């Protein structure tokens, strides 16, 4: 089973405009309301594709109640931890050419009691050899110590740890020795403290993090593809998206696709990376934070690049 932990979930509202113009009064489409948070998206994607997954998340206030209802309606297996704070609400503005503008609230702090209940609930969910994925931003005032202790409680139970976060949370998580981390290029650059302008730069940065105790570094590069660096060596892949509609949640689906294969068969890294790229590309082709189902996912436009131009500058921002 794959358990996602989202410490800072959100209720996501997506609207479409013809063109985002600062200072103007704009007409929008009817809003699309969806459950949000990186771990929530990951479990939604896995569930839609028949992979057993449970989302663990704190919820509070009317936004938390609505988030809970939406997940129940979608048939997503969840464990909700009621908290005193209010679940944040995020706004995504989408333009016809695929440009996305996001407005993300910071969320509300979790108390020591909240963390204690989360830890107890997580321990009751996880068995040895399960995968536990910590995803997304951390709530305000969450300390590195609290985060690492929660992650270590998982590995102490014999479960496998994956991490998809950024900033100090990402670098702190290395102390828990995750088997997989999934930064994007900007997050990886922040972790190593320098710009990454080519595939060779990404590979070098990933190797630095592996030297600190990370088993595999899976880097999503958007339109520039992806890089997987691990014990096997280096794999580089790319995908083609015919119609880009929304990149929101694409990285979460990318990781879900990888784990859908890797959690079942660790011997075929190639297949896992191809599946990750296929799920990510499918997500980009869907509106809002929609997650792809079996009918959306295809490896037709996905390939591994066996002799990549390692020093070619990235073309995507």
Kindly list the catalytic residues. Answer: 252
Q: Which residues contact 284 (CB under 8 A, 6 or more apart)?
A: 241, 244, 245, 246, 247, 250
Q: Which residue has the tokens 């995020």?
A: 90
**Which DSSP string corresponds to 159-224?**
-EEEEE--HHHHHHHGGG--SEE--BHHHHHHHHTS---BHHHHHHHHHHHHHTT-SEEEEE-GGG
Distance CA 290, CA 71 (A): 13
* Total residue count of the chain as it appears in this document: 317
């Amino acid at each position: 089973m794959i358990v996602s932990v989202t410490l800072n979930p959100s209720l996501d509202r997506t609207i479409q405009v013809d063109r985002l113009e600062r200072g103007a009064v704009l007409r929008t489409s009817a809003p699309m309301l969806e459950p949000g948070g990186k771990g929530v998206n990951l479990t939604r994607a896995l569930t839609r594709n028949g992979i057993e997954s449970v989302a663990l998340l704190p919820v509070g206030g009317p936004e938390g109640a609505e988030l809970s209802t939406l997940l129940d309606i979608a048939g997503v297996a969840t464990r909700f931890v009621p908290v005193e704070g209010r679940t944040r609400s995020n706004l995504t503005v989408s333009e016809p050419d695929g440009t996305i503008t996001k407005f993300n609230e910071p969320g509300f702090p979790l108390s020591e009691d909240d963390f204690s209940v989360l830890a107890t609930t997580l321990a009751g969910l996880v068995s040895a050899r399960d995968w536990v994925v910590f995803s997304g931003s951390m709530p305000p005032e969450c300390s590195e110590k609290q985060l690492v202790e929660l992650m270590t409680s998982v590995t102490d139970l014999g479960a496998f740890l994956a991490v998809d976060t950024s900033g100090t949370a990402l670098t702190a998580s290395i102390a828990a020795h995750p088997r997989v981390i999934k930064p994007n290029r900007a997050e990886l650059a922040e972790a190593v403290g320098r710009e990454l302008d080519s595939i060779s730069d990404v590979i070098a940065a990933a190797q630095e993090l592996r030297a600190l105790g990370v088993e595999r570094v899976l880097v999503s590069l958007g339109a520039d593809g992806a890089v997987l660096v691990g014990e096997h060596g280096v794999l580089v892949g790319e995908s083609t998206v015919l119609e880009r509609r929304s990149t929101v949640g694409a990285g979460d689906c990318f990781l879900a696709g990888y784990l859908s294969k890797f959690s079942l068969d660790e011997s075929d890294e190639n297949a896992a990376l191809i599946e990750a790229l296929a799920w990510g590309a499918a997500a980009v082709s869907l509106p809002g934070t929609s997650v792809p189902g079996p009918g959306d996912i295809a490896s037709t436009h996905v390939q591994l690049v066996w002799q990549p131009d390692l020093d070619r500058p990235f073309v995507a921002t």
